[in-house]
Amino acid sequence: MSLESKELVVVTGKGGVGKSSVAAALGVVMARNGRRVLVLEIDPRESVHQMLAAPPSDGEILQVAPNLYLQNLQPRQVLDQVVRERLRFEAIIHRVLESPIYQHFTEGAPGLKEMAILGHCLLLVEGKVPGAAKFDTVILDAPATGHGVSLLAAPLLVSDVIRQGPIAHMTADVAAFISSPERSGVVVVTLAEEMPVSEAIELRQLMHERLDRRPDLLVINALYPPVDDDADDDDDPLTALWVQRRSLNERELARLDEHWVGERLELPLLPVGQGPALTEALAARMEGS
Ligand SMILES: Nc1ncnc2c1ncn2[C@@H]1O[C@H](COP(=O)(O)OP(=O)(O)O)[C@@H](O)[C@H]1O
Ligand SMILES: [Mg+2]
């Protein structure tokens, strides 16, 4: 997989499509292949820990397996953390974090939280997060709010607004980091359903127009199994449901054939609940691909 050598893999997609599941499984695969991996979840509803059989990270970096770590952060925590990482003197840090101007500014400034998230990723792979080792790869389970493009376009936005000081410095570094196809990659996760597929196609288009980048991988998650020729949906409601759902999937797969150029991976809908067993099963499919 071409993602193997990246320092940052941004996993994006509409909420509920399996973004966190894919990020966790990808983390398992890459860690087994010898890379030191951190799965970073930005979501107030923490779920990656369950998928990796670990307790909630509560903002800390937590080892969950050999080579595999996780961290859950709220966007606001990330920004505070970046301020801490950049301003080394306790007294100043408190003054900045407590100041109403900072609070007001961080809520209002477009792209600043997103910028902080990417900045934190960069510090992690550079080994510059105090108390944390250097990571080979950060897998970013991107926030479900907004478009993946707004995350990736954040350095552009922020550099328009802030031209001096530590944030401006970081912005230039982060912009270089995420515009490098050698260093960073983007995985788009979708279901083979009408809305998520439309959004995935739109995301691809926007990435191309605004960032001159293409996603490295499309994951089509939770596909119903292909229907056997002899499946008879006349009198069995379960079979009828399966045939109907699969045909919806196939219609969307055909639409993707038309509008999506590039590598893709299909993952089945598995009869397994959220947890390490599902993560293992998805990882096995990724490894086999
Ligand atoms: N391929 C799959 N087969 C079965 N269940 C899945 C699959 N992918 C995801 N799920 C389940 O769907 C739910 C949503 O997945 P999750 O990864 O949390 O989505 P997101 O992070 O995009 O909101 C979870 O309960 C997860 O266990
Ligand atoms: Mg999630």
Inter-helix orientation angle 100-108/112-125, to 10°: 100
- For a mutational test of ligand 1's pocket, the pick from 10, 11, 14, 21, i.e. the residue with the most ligand atoms closer than 8 A to its C-beta, is 21
pLDDT digits (tens, 9 = 90+) for 56-69: 998 899 999 999 99
200: three-class secondary structure by DSSP: helix
Index of the ligand 1 atom closest to the CA of residue 275: 27
Q: Are 115 and 123 in contact (CB under 8 A)?
A: no
| Ligand 1, atom 15: closest residue by C-alpha | 18
Q: Which residues pair with 69 in a beta bridge?
A: 38, 63
Phi/psi of residue 255, nearest 5 degrees: -65, -40
Q: Are 197 and 255 in contact (CB under 8 A)?
A: yes
Instruction: State whether the beta carbon of 25 lies less than 6 angstroms from ligand 1.
Output: no
Instruction: State whether the beta carbon of 47 lies less than 6 angstroms from ligand 1.
Output: yes
CA-closest candidate to residue 51, choices 67, 16, 27, 15: 27
Tokens 């996603």 sit at which residue? 215
CA-closest candidate to residue 136, choices 277, 223, 34: 34
Q: Is the pTM of this model over 0.85?
A: yes
Instruction: State whether the beta carbon of 49 lies less than 6 angstroms from ligand 1.
Output: no
Angle CA 250–251–256, to nearest 5: 90
pLDDT digits (tens, 9 = 90+) for 231-289: 766 778 888 899 999 999 999 999 999 999 999 999 999 999 999 999 999 999 999 87
Distances (CA, A) of 37 to 69, 133, 140: 6, 11, 11
36 alpha carbon – ligand 1 mean position (Å): 24
CA-CA-CA-CA torsion sign (69, 142, 154, 115): negative
101 alpha carbon – ligand 2 mean position (Å): 31
Instruction: State whether the beta carbon of 278 lies less than 6 angstroms from ligand 1.
Output: yes
The size of the chain, in residues, is 289
Quick one: pLDDT at residue 88?
Answer: 66
**For each of the chain's 289 residues, which pLDDT tens digit applies?**
589 999 999 999 988 999 999 999 999 999 999 999 999 999 888 999 999 999 999 889 999 999 999 999 887 777 777 777 767 666 677 777 777 776 766 766 778 788 888 988 999 999 988 889 999 999 999 987 666 788 888 888 787 777 887 677 888 899 999 989 999 999 999 999 999 999 999 999 999 998 899 999 999 999 999 998 777 667 788 888 999 999 999 999 999 999 999 999 999 999 999 999 999 999 999 998 7
Q: Are 265 and 7 in contact (CB under 8 A)?
A: no
Index of the ligand 1 atom closest to the CA of residue 23: 17
Tokens 């509560």 sit at which residue? 58
Around Cβ 60, how many Cβ atoms within 10 Å? Answer: 13
Ligand number with the minimum distance to the CA of 148:
1
Instruction: State whether the beta carbon of 274 lies less than 6 angstroms from ligand 1.
Output: yes
Index of the ligand 1 atom closest to the CA of residue 274: 27
Ligand number with the minimum distance to the CA of 24:
1
Domains of the chain: 2-287 (3.40.50.300)
Around Cβ 182, how many Cβ atoms within 10 Å? Answer: 8
Instruction: State whether the beta carbon of 281 lies less than 6 angstroms from ligand 1.
Output: no
18 alpha carbon – ligand 2 mean position (Å): 7
50 alpha carbon – ligand 1 mean position (Å): 12
